A and B are shown apart, each in its own frame.
Chain A
Amino acid sequence: MRSPRWLVLHLPAFRVERCGHGATDLVALTVEEHGGTRLCAVSPEATARGLRAGMTAAEARSLEPDVKLEPLDAAAEDEDRMSLLRALERLSDTLWPLADDAFALEISRVPRGDATLEAALALAAELGHVGYAVIADDPDAAYALCSLGSRALVVEPLGTAAAIGGLPVQSLRPSVELLHAWREVGVASIGDLARLPPSAVRDRYGPEGVRLFQIARGKPTDQVLRASITAKGGTVAQARTVLPGPTTTTQPLWFAIQGLIGKLAEQVARQDRAIVRLLVQIELERSLSASFRVRSGRPTASADRLRALVRPRVEALRVEAPALEVTVVAEETCPLRSWQASLYDRAEAQEPLPDLLARLSDALGEGAVFTPQLAPSWRPERAFICSEPLPLRLTARAHTIVELPQRPILLEATPKPIEVRTEADRPVRVRFGEGWEVVLRARGPEHLSGDWWRPNPFDRAYWVVDFGIVAWLYLDLSDGRWFLHGWYD
């Protein structure tokens, strides 16, 4: 079996270069955090002078008074990173933002890796970035090599363990706890790690320890980014990716998902179908999983429209454990038809109504956006159901005739107890607010009862009562108490 091959392009000054600075400038990016200004990225020159991410701005200035501090524009940085990724797509169709300043490209099927490496460096230079590139059997190993200064290196297949054996173990980016545990047993270099007994690693250091141990021993990990598309029943398609490394942050997850959406949309369009509903499933460590569904509003085969709907959901996602694998399923599809705005749609609409409804439903949750329908129930609070709002049927009818007794327009979710004085079983005074109000008109009773076969039957005598304002009251015939249930507003 051929081992996978990865090209890692490391741009150590990417975050400051995109702000118009060079790698040799003394500059750092800052964020407002914990009530203070802290450094979040530093240029190579600033690193050489002892500045580190996490320092406060005051500490940085006391070390280097001339340091230039720039506030971070996270959104613009993300945009630039995505643009760079798109530019790199011409070198590989499987690529991945490995870190804030590094990109991994799978090049197993590329015949001349060294030419791709030169092309990646040339592309970075063309875009104004200083780049380091390494080709190896594992992306983390390649990143370790280029982050420690290998400018352009091709590690022979199966030669990764030897190439990284002398590097410090922290260049594999273990968690702080794992690094601490390894230091306690004297593991300082990647070579030291590779010499540990496998059973001890498995028992003591968990999945993260095992994964880094495999890299240290030069064994290609099975977590290779691989997107597969399968069709179920000819109409439902899904795309799946195993992430190259566990991640808890949004950006790499989003990158994987948006790639899958592109592939899935292409596949679905080839079948002359459009996606109505997507399911995004994320497999996490410890056998956990996370998922969410997105309805597209208008059926579509446009990857960009689907991405616009899915992106806010991914950004709001909080996963309980590192993500390992992502699957995007086109759960519901329909024949592809072009969508045309209705003659009656507002010219002022900034987005089509179906898109807005899908977006609101996704953001506010199930049942928050609905078109009501009358339901055959005597219990007033169950006299309507919430149905999905699509499509809104706009007809030119001004009125519909509904054979219903008069009903209030506002209903309290829970009926509120109220004091009522009666004469000859008719309400004459109502205690409302601070005092007693005289009832000017009262119409009733309307006797509503039912649900006797359920645990909570009801038996009520309703009155429409006007005491300056018009309310819907009922007398609970089971216990003689009065309740305020609604308002004729």
Chain B
Amino acid sequence: MAAVLSIEALRDKIRAIEGRGVEPTKVPTGVPEVDELVGGLPVPGLVEVSGPRGSGRMRVVVAIALRLAARRSAVAWIDPLGLLYPPGLAVLGLDLSQVLVVRPPAEQDVWACEQAARSGCFPLVVVVDPPLRKHLGARLSRAAEHGSCAVLVLSERTSRELPASLRFLVQRDRLVVVRDRQGAPGRTGSLPGRRPA
């Protein structure tokens, strides 16, 4: 118990040094597969969903975006590589008039993510396969805290440079919790939605 307390004290100290004062709370997403597994997304917080393209990472994100759309909340999709294909989102049921896509040029991608998150206009900001840049994680964490939102980063590989409070790995049609600052890692669950082929 003493060790746990000292780690918590250390985290508080780091938060104080970084000027952060808000402990994220888990907000249920309305997606049973996610909520039963981890209790929701940390807000404010950084969430990473990693796995190869085509593994089903987007099924998590689209399921959450659909629930948010039902509550009249827009999601910002930051797409630095221009990969997002809106007809695919429409097929999955997202109303495209509620979809905001930002395709920043390479040199402004971190800035664009930061602005969308900091603004507080979106409960969820999704960043699709961002090129890993120096300080990306720290900047996004601070922006999420400033805008009281969750920033969900889709990546092909788990990146330790990204200080995510919740980290999923998508593997063989399963959602694996790799890291959960407010819970135990290692749990697995099924992915929301159906496999297409």
Contact surface of A with B, Cβ cutoff 8 Å? 344-346, 348-353, 356-357, 359-360, 363-365, 367-374, 380, 383-384, 386, 389, 392-402, 404-413, 441-443, 464-466, 468-471, 486-489
Contact = CB atoms under 8 A, between A and B. Distances in A.
Interface in B73-112: 73-74, 81-105, 108, 111-112
A372 B96 CA distance: 6
Interface stretch (B11-19, B33-41, B54-62, B177-185): B54-62
Contacts of A442: 197
A395 B118 CA distance: 24
Contacts of A404: 87, 90-91
Given A406-B91, A489-B56, A374 B197 contact: no
Counting from the closest, the 8 A-B pairs by CB-CB distance are: A469-B54, A372-B86, A398-B70, A409-B88, A411-B85, A489-B58, A466-B197, A399-B93
Contacts of B119: 349-351, 353, 356
B93 to A, nearest CB: 4
Contacts of B90: 374, 400, 402, 404, 407
A409 B56 CA distance: 10
B133 interface: no
B67 interface: yes
B155 to A, nearest CB: 12
Interface of B: 52-59, 62, 66-67, 69-74, 81-105, 108, 111-112, 115-116, 118-123, 128, 146-149, 154, 172, 195-197
A393 B120 CA distance: 18
29 contacts: A344-B73, A345-B121, A346-B73, A348-B147, A350-B120, A353-B121, A371-B96, A371-B99, A371-B100, A372-B89, A372-B101, A373-B96, A383-B87, A392-B97, A395-B97, A397-B69, A398-B66, A398-B67, A400-B90, A402-B90, A402-B91, A406-B196, A409-B62, A469-B53, A470-B196, A486-B85, A487-B53, A487-B54, A488-B195
A364 to B, nearest CB: 5
Contact of B70 (A348, A396, A464): A396
A351 B67 CA distance: 24
B101 to A, nearest CB: 6
Given A344-B72, A356-B116, A489-B57, A410 B95 contact: no
Contacts of B74: 353, 392, 394
Contacts of A465: 197
A247 to B, nearest CB: 28
Contacts of A398: 66-67, 69-70, 93
Nearest to A385: B86
